[in-house]
Structure 1
Amino acid sequence: MNATELSWPSPANNADPDAEVVQESAESYFKQVSARFARNKPAVIGLAITLFLILVALLAPLLIPHSPYAVTAFFSAPPSGEHWLGTDQVGRDVWSRLIMASRVSLLVGFSTVAIYVSLGTLIGLVSAYVGGWLDMIVMRITDMFMAFPFLMVILVVVSALGASLQTIICVLALFSWPTVARLVRSSVLSLKQLDYVKAGRALGLSAPRIVFRHLLPNAMGPIIVNATFGIANAILSEAGLSFLGMGVPPPTASWGNMLSDAQSLTVLTDQPWLWVPAGSMLLITVLAINFVGDGLRDALDPKE
């Protein structure tokens, strides 16, 4: 046999065909979801606004003309060339506080969701996959948490522990995970009856591999949608707590405690620069995130 007759298999021929099929299927699914999301104009606009707000929060120290804590001699001054949105009741620049407050509000929203989605997903996965007495106990604990009046319990816990940014994030996450846990549990209960899960068990795959590599990716759609809406809800909850004086303590700026200055009729009627900017930012942010959530829900809908 001549050397020229020898042929060595190329790396492409050695590639796992199943892995290639899975990769191509994932890429095709991602393209389909992206195309459906792109057709939803409000969702695309909401995503652009959300990304812009995140960029503003990251670059906040570069965008503020004054320190958000510096007190000037101009109390409740109207907008001017030096103070674009005027000053508050103690002489602090409203524009600077508005920009810095975006950091606090977005940090609360994303941090709270990251914690409770991770916790709820883990609890829901384990509860549904193991089943039996463990599932029953976990679901009764979940029902107990969901039976609490959300805002009242948070007010009591925050007042007992003391208002701070870390406390707000932890308390909101502590009472928000049950929704995700029940959502994940319902998805996994249906998924674990499918043939590929039974085949994995028959092949001797470990429970963590089946749960995290096969069940979790197929349950990610509802989790992502719930997390998106959860960011908006966490921002609103923080604003409500701060408005009631139980949120982020002064002098740290948040949109909620900026709105708390508008509790008097004089401010509402004669000094709109003290509450309109913060209220507008809160409205725009929540609407933008909700539009993104609506777009993701439609794009990830299996019926589509």
Structure 2
Amino acid sequence: MAILANVIAPYHPKESLGRENVHLTPQQGHIMGTDHAGRDVLSRVIHGARISLYVGFGSVAVGITLGFILAVVTTYAGGFIDLCFPEVLTTKELDYILAARAIGASPLRLVFRHITPQLHGDSPGGIHLLPGAGDNHRGFPQLLGAPWVAMFPGLAIFVVVFGFNLLGDSLRDAWDPKLRGR
């Protein structure tokens, strides 16, 4: 939906449909209603999804990249740096990692084959609340008069986050060797 926002959104997200269309309840033509400026909420949710996903995927990519680099550095460095990343420290001291080290596994093999796969569950999440491009300054009074303006974007965020959580759980179930065979 976010990729095809320009094609499937019924209106431009910043297009005001006039004073007669301010705070229209959900109805035919505006299935999620309109906001305080007469803009179509569905169009704003569709276009806002694009921004939210850019920010979300970007923050996850940066977080995973920096986290991976720092995890590798702490694994090699040890000592004081271990205190900064307790997940790596606890993973590094697991019995099977100590056994791999005892039989002569190289530090690179330990990092990439044994430690890194255990850290994937610690990556940050990244869907952010950007439902309407952030220009709503009217706040709580608007929620009393037109609750759909916050309800539909919130519901869209819930569905996306829930979907990514389900995807993450199924990928973890498929890739985690501890969960195989259950």
TM normalised by structure 2 equals 0.76
Matched, 1:75 2:30: no
1:276-296 CA distance string (max 9 Å, x none): 211111111222222333334
**SS of corresponding position for 2:2:** helix
What's 1:187 paired with?
91
What amino acid is aligned across from residue 280 of structure 1 in structure 2? L
Match of 2:111 among 203, 206, 215: 215
On the 8 A contact 2:97/2:110 being kept in 1, the answer is no
- CA shift at 1:223, angstroms? 3.2
- CA shift at 1:111, angstroms? 1.1
**SS of corresponding position for 2:121:** helix
**SS of corresponding position for 2:67:** helix
* Structure 2 CA distance for partners of 1:94 and 1:261, relative to 1, 3 Å: farther
On the 8 A contact 2:75/2:111 being kept in 1, the answer is no
User: Superposition pairs for residues 125-140 of structure 1, below 5 Å?
Assistant: 125-132=72-79, 136=80, 138-140=81-83
Matched, 1:101 2:45: no
Structure 1: 5+ residue stretches without partners: 1-55, 143-180, 202-209, 240-253
**What is the CA–CA distance in structure 1 between the aligned matches of 2:152 and 2:53, rounded to whole Å?**
16
Match of 1:113 among 60, 73, 88: 60
**SS of corresponding position for 2:17:** coil
On the 8 A contact 1:70/1:92 being kept in 2, the answer is yes
What amino acid is aligned across from residue 288 of structure 1 in structure 2? G
**What is the CA–CA distance in structure 1 between the aligned matches of 2:62 and 2:134, rounded to whole Å?**
26
Matched, 1:60 2:5: yes
Structure with the greater alpha carbon radius of gyration: 1
What's 2:146 paired with?
271
State the percentage of identical aligned residues. Answer: 27
What amino acid is aligned across from residue 122 of structure 2 in structure 1? N
* Structure 2 CA distance for partners of 1:293 and 1:97, relative to 1, 3 Å: same
* Structure 2 CA distance for partners of 1:255 and 1:90, relative to 1, 3 Å: same
1:51-106 CA distance string (max 9 Å, x none): xxxxx112222111211112221222233443332221112221111001111222
1:244-285 CA distance string (max 9 Å, x none): xxxxxxxxxx227669678424x3344232122111111112
- CA shift at 1:115, angstroms? 0.7
What amino acid is aligned across from residue 115 of structure 1 in structure 2? V
- Greater helix share, structure number: 1
Structure 2: 5+ residue stretches without partners: none
* Structure 2 CA distance for partners of 1:111 and 1:88, relative to 1, 3 Å: same
Q: Say how many residue pairs are matched.
A: 176
On the 8 A contact 1:183/1:222 being kept in 2, the answer is no
**What is the CA–CA distance in structure 2 between the aligned matches of 1:292 and 1:200, rounded to whole Å?**
33
**SS of corresponding position for 2:98:** coil
CA RMSD of aligned residues (A): 3.0
Query: Structure 1 runs of 4+ off > 6 angstroms?
Result: none
- CA shift at 1:197, angstroms? 7.4
User: Superposition pairs for residues 198-213 of structure 1, below 5 Å?
Assistant: 198-201=103-106, 210-211=107-108
**What is the CA–CA distance in structure 1 between the aligned matches of 2:138 and 2:154, rounded to whole Å?**
10
* Structure 2 CA distance for partners of 1:275 and 1:224, relative to 1, 3 Å: same
**SS of corresponding position for 1:219:** helix
